[in-house]
Amino acid sequence: MIALAIIHKPGSWSSRLTRWFTGSTAMHIGFVDLEHSKFYDMNLLFRRRGWPHYTSCRVVLYACPVPVTRETLEFYLDTDEDWYGVFDYLAFGIRKLWPGYHPSFKGAICSEKVNEILAFSGWLSPFAGTPSPADFENVLVRIGEQDQ
């Protein structure tokens, strides 16, 4: 089963900055292949890690809104050429100052990559512009929580 993991690390600089941008401490999102103990996420590049990976964080698991397969995630590992979008992340600050303005730069952040893979899998995204992990928290169905 593939699930979505939203990572919270209250007290960290990135979580504080994310909270200022989005109102939530949800600082990261990625796919978890629970059957094979793998985590797929956008970091510098789209990558695969062992799961559990965020051992000092609060992790909340959510059901994917559409079925996502391990083959799709592996396909993205083989073909994705996006780099992490530092300016895209900072653009959340612009959204806070100018609601409704959704700038997009050439990079991709974690929640943007999740949104892209879900759309590839058939999901009609409810988001205007690039969503944050907090945006995903508001529309997903929680299936579990892990304090790792």
**Six token digits for residue 65:** 């809104």
CATH number, domain containing residue 73? 3.90.1720.10
Whole-prediction pTM? 0.84
* pLDDT classification of 22: cutoffs 50, 70, 90: confident
**For the chain, what is the mean pLDDT?**
85
For the segment 44-70, the average pLDDT, to the nearest whole number, is 93
Q: State yes or no: pLDDT of 147 exceeds 60.
A: no
Number of domains in the chain: 1
CB count within 10 Å of CB 20 equals 11
Q: Could you read off the pLDDT of 80-129 as tens digits, one per residue?
A: 988 776 666 666 666 666 666 666 667 788 999 999 999 999 999 999 87
d(CA 41, CA 38): 10
Provide the residue range defining the domain that includes 7.
Answer: 2-147
Q: State yes or no: pLDDT of 19 exceeds 80.
A: no
